[in-house]
Amino acid sequence: MTRHAVHPTGRAYLDLVTDLLQRYRLANPITGLWEAADLQWWYCRDPHLHKGDAVVWVDGDIPVAAAVFT
């Protein structure tokens, strides 16, 4: 697969960033700034309804990196 950028909104955004951060935390349990719960909490306040709010790079269906406006 090749990596490409997607601009998820709403629930698709939350699913992708949660998966990305959970997999990162499992691979690196003592490093990193963000927890998946952090972006889930922000989602309650701002559900990212616009394509410009987040970009997620995916490899197939697997998110590998993200840039998120909070």
pLDDT digits (tens, 9 = 90+) for 9-25: 888 888 999 999 888 88
pLDDT digits (tens, 9 = 90+) for 24-45: 888 888 877 767 677 777 777 7
Other beta carbons less than 10 A from residue 26's beta carbon? 8
Tell me the whole-structure pTM to 2 decimals.
Answer: 0.80
* Residue 66 contacts residue 13 (beta carbons within 8 Å): no
What are the distances in angstroms from CA 70 to CA 3, 7, 58, 60, 61?
Answer: 24, 15, 20, 26, 24
Of the candidates 33, 3, 46, 40, the one whose C-alpha atom is nearest the C-alpha of residue 18 is 40
